[in-house]
Chains A and B, each alone.
Chain A
Amino acid sequence: MFIINCPYCGERDQTEFSCGGEAHIERPKQPTELSDDQWAEYLFMRKNIKGIQFERWNHIHGCRKWFNVIRDTSNDKIHAVYKMGEKPPIKSL
């Protein structure tokens, strides 16, 4: 059970949040122009990294806001949190 520093509410227990998987996968603006392969890339392909991962979290039992988390999946250390639409404060580690 980690503690997540919600960018809106502050530090809260993990049980207040839900994880929305990998971050920065933008929904294509014009899906109809994509080939099956391109659409499948968006729809199904995820990195599932052991190590530093950029992920989306939702403070579902709090302010209901979505935001991004940079987390090391091997030890759960959270390196940064930042709001939707913001650039990651750390490029890579």
Chain B
Amino acid sequence: MLSFNSPINEEKKYNDLNIIEVEPIIKINLRSNKREFSTKIGKILSILPPNEANTSSGNEKFNLLWLSPDEWLIYSNDKEMSLDDQTNLEDKLFNEISKLNQGAVTNVSDHWVMINLNGNKVYDLLSKSCPYNFNDFKNKKGSVAQTIVNHINVILHHKQENNLNLFVRRSFSEDLWLWINDSARFI
């Protein structure tokens, strides 16, 4: 086996705030503007890709996040999913969609790093460097926002009240992790 090295591998606890890197998690980027795409995804994942902006769909296994009218992100809830199962899922989606010219399927498991933020001060923390207006987001389970935190691109997914998953590009993740921990000192 090759050894797996996620970039952060850490958990931090503050007053009213917990932050933790959650890896390994399979993540697959989907692109399509074809009509049958939705049905195909539904068949494979048992979830339909959401059409409404800034929302997500999901079941106990997977989350499907709206990123743009022709782009979605799948991520798994299961850290224990085996590498072979991950490869099989990716291949299945690729063969059904990309190979049949129904869109694009791209593995982005290691492109994005997932950080879970949880606690009453989550939105105060992000608002230190994020211009996004969380007033609606924080009350709507499943909300999705692509925005910037300290000028770094992130995807935010509302999981529960005051509990969200943040996706950041791997190369920026350590920088953002340090920034978030720095911000956490002052909330």
Which A residues contact B (CB, under 8 angstroms)?
Answer: 1, 8-13, 15-16, 61-65
Contacts and interface: CB of A to CB of B under 8 A. Distances in A.
A12 B148 CA distance: 11
Contacts of A11: 133
B158 to A, nearest CB: 15
A8 B69 contact: yes
Contacts of B148: 15-16, 61
Contacts, number: 38
Given A63-B68, A63-B146, A64-B68, A9 B54 contact: yes
Interface in B44-58: 53-54
Given A9-B53, A16-B131, A63 B71 contact: yes
Contacts of B146: 9, 61-63
Interface of B: 53-54, 67-69, 71, 131-133, 146-148, 151, 153
Nearest to B146: A62
A60 to B, nearest CB: 9
Contact of A8 (B53, B131, B132, B151): B53
Please give me the 7 A-B residue pairs with the lowest Cβ-Cβ distance, nearest first. Answer: A13-B131, A63-B68, A62-B146, A61-B148, A61-B153, A15-B131, A9-B53
Contacts of A12: 131-132, 147
B108 to A, nearest CB: 14
17 contacts: A9-B53, A9-B54, A10-B53, A11-B133, A13-B131, A15-B148, A15-B151, A16-B147, A61-B147, A61-B148, A62-B68, A62-B147, A63-B53, A63-B68, A64-B68, A65-B68, A65-B69
Given A9-B146, A13-B131, A63 B69 contact: yes
B143 to A, nearest CB: 12
Nearest to A15: B131
A71 B69 CA distance: 24
A84 to B, nearest CB: 12
A4 to B, nearest CB: 12
Contacts of A9: 53-54, 146
Nearest to A9: B53
A59 B95 CA distance: 31
Contacts of B53: 8-10, 63
A37 to B, nearest CB: 38
A62 B132 CA distance: 11
Contact of B68 (A1, A8, A10): A8
